[in-house]
Structures are given as C-alpha cells and as structure tokens.
A and B are shown apart, each in its own frame.
Chain A
Amino acid sequence: SQQGEEDPQALSIQEGENATMNCSYKTSINNLQWYRQNSGRGLVHLILIRSNEREKHSGRLRVTLDTSKKSSSLLITASRAADTASYFCATGMDSSYKLIFGSGTRLLVRP
C-alpha cells in the first residue's frame, strides 16, 4: 500500500522559477525522504528529514516536515531544465529500514 501521496501529480514551470511539491502521509514516521527519478532510470536520494526536524536545506533544495499535519514539502529554488524529473517522497517507519513511496510528482522545467 502507498503511504505518501504527492501533490500536484504534474507541475510545469519556467526555468528560474521555484518548484514546490507536497507530500502527505497517514501513519507515524521515523523519517521522510525525497528521491528523484529521471525517465527510465533508477531513483536518486536527494534529502532526508527526521521526525524531530522541521526544516532542512541542501543546495537549492529545502524540505519542511509538519508531523502534526503529516505532511512535507520539497522546494526547488531557481529551477533548471536539468531538474526535469519525477520526484517521490518516501516514509521510513521502523527499524526494518523499509520505505513506503508515494506516487510522485512529474516536474517539467521549460527552458
């Protein structure tokens, strides 16, 4: 079963604009992660935020986590055409290190 649901399902923006993607989940979590997938490729880990953290930055990425609302957001600032990809949130819930992935947001950055 899928725990996370991303919103929007698809997003099209102009290069240089910011892109914001949201993720909602249903149960208590240990951590929440964001991954990127280029078309037809494997996933690449972007950033991890733990349940006791509220915000985290990595380069042009900013992730927030609101455990009271069971939601997270990923902000990509100053987007580039190379950021075009699908972005997935994934929740880790216990010591088995299993992840439950959402359905993803397809981001298109127009040059």
Chain B
Amino acid sequence: SQTIHQWPATLVQPVGSPLSLECTVEGTSNPNLYWYRQAAGRGLQLLFYSVGIGQISSEVPQNLSASRPQDRQFILSSKKLLLSDSGFYLCAWTPATGSQETQYFGPGTRLLVL
C-alpha cells in the first residue's frame, strides 16, 4: 500500500532563516506531487506541483521554491523566511496512471515564523 510522509511535523523558525520541508511517497512510482499551504481556518492554496523528476510548476510567485531530486521525494524550500510564510504545509500525491483525480495527503508540517 502507498504511504506519504512529511517532516518535520512542527517547525519554529526565525524570520530570515532558511527552510527545507520534505515529503516522500512510498509504494508507488512516478506519482504527481503537490505542495499546498493552508492559513489558519482557511482553505488550501496550491503552491507547486510536479509530474516528474526535475519538473516543477509554480502556481504562486513568492519566496518559496520546490524541487524533486528523486521520483518520490518532493522538497519545499526558502532561502529567507518571512512572517507571512507561517502556516500549515501539506504535501499530496496522485497516481501516474489510472484514477488520477483523487489526491492523497500527508499529515502536514506546521510552520511558525517568528
């Protein structure tokens, strides 16, 4: 069966510090991968998605970036965090074949920038 992991679960970082959040998927090959951010009490905002290694599409221009160094690894990064980067970051995946509409979410990373 497929599983998706995110770490860390919680992170407190000072303004101006770098960021690296990791997402990995097990039990499937060549998944589509997605990064979302959720502000408190709000819906999800799609940040990046990837359909393959090295292929990243950005949805919202900001100081975040994403990379996919391996087939089942998706990383969200920042060189200098802003206060507005605080939020709940969710990674999701869909299968490469078959029913690709349904997204499967990881447990999320709660980021607080102080």
Interface residues, chain A, with chain B CB atoms under 8 Å away: 2, 4, 30-31, 33, 35, 40-45, 48, 88, 90, 92, 96-104, 106
Contact count band on B? 20 to 34
Nearest CB of A to B55, in Å = 12
Chain B interface main SS type: strand
Interface residues, chain B, with chain A CB atoms under 8 Å away: 32, 34, 36, 41-46, 49, 51, 57, 59, 88, 90, 92, 94, 100-108, 110
For residue A31, which residue of chain B has the nearest CB?
Answer: B101
Q: Is the CB of B43 within 8 A of A2?
A: yes
Q: A2-B43, A88-B43, A102-B43 are in contact. Are A43 and B90 (CB under 8 A)?
A: yes
Q: Is the CB of B90 within 8 A of A104?
A: no
- Tell me the bound Cα distance from A44 to B106 in angstroms: 9
List chain B residues, Cβ under 8 A from A104.
42-43
Chain A to chain B contacts (Cβ below 8 Å), 22 pairs: A2-B43, A2-B45, A33-B101, A41-B107, A42-B107, A43-B90, A43-B92, A43-B103, A44-B105, A45-B102, A45-B103, A88-B43, A90-B103, A92-B101, A96-B49, A96-B51, A98-B34, A98-B49, A101-B36, A101-B45, A101-B46, A103-B43
